[in-house]
Chain A
């Protein structure tokens, strides 16, 4: 087995008294699709910036492609494709000009970039927008262009920080399709997200982060199996009655979570549980049986929702 592309040991970043990343350990293997899942402020982006060789760590060890980012930043960045949380495309330039100048920052020849632009426009489905100024593109198009730009140098690792935040559902699905193709191709993907469905779609393995620490690590299916039941029943009794009903239903299931607007009851057989609750005389305003997701894993681990 080849050595991991990214190795973090006791990786820590502090800002004064505040610890943004707190002694975390993880490895990312070549060709792996690895995710950092957690709410805003969990330390995901800080971790990404340290891996991207643009932020110094406070302590611990970190190697990317076998190199220390604090000593060999440019040599590491030469093999990374970075898609930041906020698009930083050049709004005054056209789609092709953005791809061209970014390719030049990697020292690529004009001839190579010219051919590469055609490939990337096809990949990002932006052929018809090639001569359009970036300022005139939609949010989804800008995001696809930012990803295409990150691929111009054919990086060993593509880093995506919250790749679909702010996009509408259709744009998200187009983007997921593009990223899934890269995953199939064997490009090592490293992404942060606070969307559990995105993590489930794209990540072969992930770490769940909260307050700078790793709460759990594994594949989405492993995490759900380990930390939750197969199904969950969502019941709404109205904000004033939820607490009372949660108390009453406490012994009917494996685990119960009370949220401000609903109660979550965890069970391997949601339909039977719901049927038992209804026959027991409870009358929720709405009820729903659904498959357990990473959101539930996060809730179980931290007692908090991913999006608060």
Chain B
């Protein structure tokens, strides 16, 4: 007789359904963190290298040309790096949130089908979705925090209220993350949808919504309020 057979108590004794009702979403998040731990080095490298390279190449490199042409007027009254930084912060939060909800949803419904495994446990569908969402926001918070620290060291944060940019970027990530989680759950079988979304919606939003130049220069294209709000906090 194995140990399993000798020590059995039974689920009626072991499983506390009230605890699952209260903390179920966090148990799902915990499993997402287990996945993230597999890619921890990549996550840290990306969190540092991505902003570092963007800020050096566009912020400092192109920024030196822009500042030389604009002179004391700057862009919206601030150096180009200061103008650019908060928009990159918000767009990083948005992209990070989208990645962290879309990939696990595809994995859960299609690749590993581990959402079906979760669904066979006391967890509810709502708890599964909330757990994925919470884990995504934790990852976004980590990425945004690293980005903000680098912006600080680059001298891109001028105003005393610059810390508010973290909150605004998080709200931006949360809003896009929630929307994309809902969409991903519905169109999970349509692989092409995510390619179209990336190429024709997310990328144009990144390029034309005031990240790299003031939206007033392109009055025909509506600005993304998240960019404006983060900028407002930092300038």
Segment touching A, from B8-16, B66-74, B160-168: B8-16
In the complex the two chains form, is A123's CB within 8 Å of B4's CB?
yes
A90 contacts which chain B residues (CB < 8 A)?
31, 35, 112, 114, 117
In the complex the two chains form, is A154's CB within 8 Å of B17's CB?
no
In the complex the two chains form, is B34's CB within 8 Å of A154's CB?
no
- In the complex, which residue of chain A has the Cβ closest to the Cβ of B27? A104
In the complex the two chains form, is A105's CB within 8 Å of B122's CB?
yes
B124 contacts which chain A residues (CB < 8 A)?
73-74
A120 contacts which chain B residues (CB < 8 A)?
4
- In the complex, which residue of chain B has the Cβ closest to the Cβ of A100? B34
> If A77-B122, A102-B117 touch, does A154 touch B112 (CB 8 Å cutoff)?
no
How far apart are the CA atoms of A151 and B8 in the complex, in Å?
A: 10
- From 94 to 113 in chain A, residues with beta carbon under 8 angstroms from any chain B beta carbon are 97, 100-102, 104-108, 112
In the complex the two chains form, is A78's CB within 8 Å of B17's CB?
yes
B5 contacts A by Cβ under 8 Å: yes
A79 contacts which chain B residues (CB < 8 A)?
11-12, 15
Segment touching B, from A38-46, A81-89, A231-239: A81-89
- In the complex, which residue of chain A has the Cβ closest to the Cβ of B119? A54
A78 contacts which chain B residues (CB < 8 A)?
11, 15, 17, 20, 121-122
How far apart are the CA atoms of A112 and B9 in the complex, in Å?
A: 12
Option from B4, B20, B112 in Cβ contact (under 8 Å) with A88: B112
> If A97-B34, A102-B117 touch, does A112 touch B14 (CB 8 Å cutoff)?
yes
In the complex the two chains form, is A88's CB within 8 Å of B116's CB?
yes
A181 contacts which chain B residues (CB < 8 A)?
2, 5
A256 contacts which chain B residues (CB < 8 A)?
none
Number of interface residues of B (CB under 8 A): 38
How far apart are the CA atoms of A92 and B123 in the complex, in Å?
A: 21
B34 contacts which chain A residues (CB < 8 A)?
93, 97, 100-101
CB of A127, distance to nearest CB on chain B (Å): 11
In the complex the two chains form, is A88's CB within 8 Å of B113's CB?
yes
B21 contacts A by Cβ under 8 Å: yes
B14 contacts which chain A residues (CB < 8 A)?
106, 108, 112, 153-154
CB of A135, distance to nearest CB on chain B (Å): 10
A185 contacts which chain B residues (CB < 8 A)?
5, 8
B116 contacts which chain A residues (CB < 8 A)?
84, 88
Option from B12, B31, B119, B122 in Cβ contact (under 8 Å) with A107: B122
> If A82-B120, A104-B30, A105-B121 touch, does A156 touch B17 (CB 8 Å cutoff)?
no
Question: Which of B15, B23, B35 has the most chain A CB within a 10 Å cutoff?
Answer: B15
> If A119-B7, A181-B2 touch, does A75 touch B17 (CB 8 Å cutoff)?
yes
Option from B2, B12, B113, B114 in Cβ contact (under 8 Å) with A119: B2
Option from B31, B114, B120 in Cβ contact (under 8 Å) with A77: B120
A112 contacts which chain B residues (CB < 8 A)?
14
B3 contacts A by Cβ under 8 Å: yes
> If A97-B34, A118-B3, A122-B2 touch, does A105 touch B27 (CB 8 Å cutoff)?
yes
B23 contacts which chain A residues (CB < 8 A)?
107
| Chain A residues within 8 Å of B, Cβ to Cβ | 52, 54, 73-75, 77-80, 82, 84, 86, 88-93, 97, 100-102, 104-108, 112, 118-120, 122-123, 149, 151, 153-156, 181, 185
What are 11 A-B contacts defined by CB distance under 8 Å? A52-B120, A75-B122, A90-B112, A90-B117, A91-B112, A92-B38, A93-B35, A100-B34, A105-B20, A156-B10, A185-B8
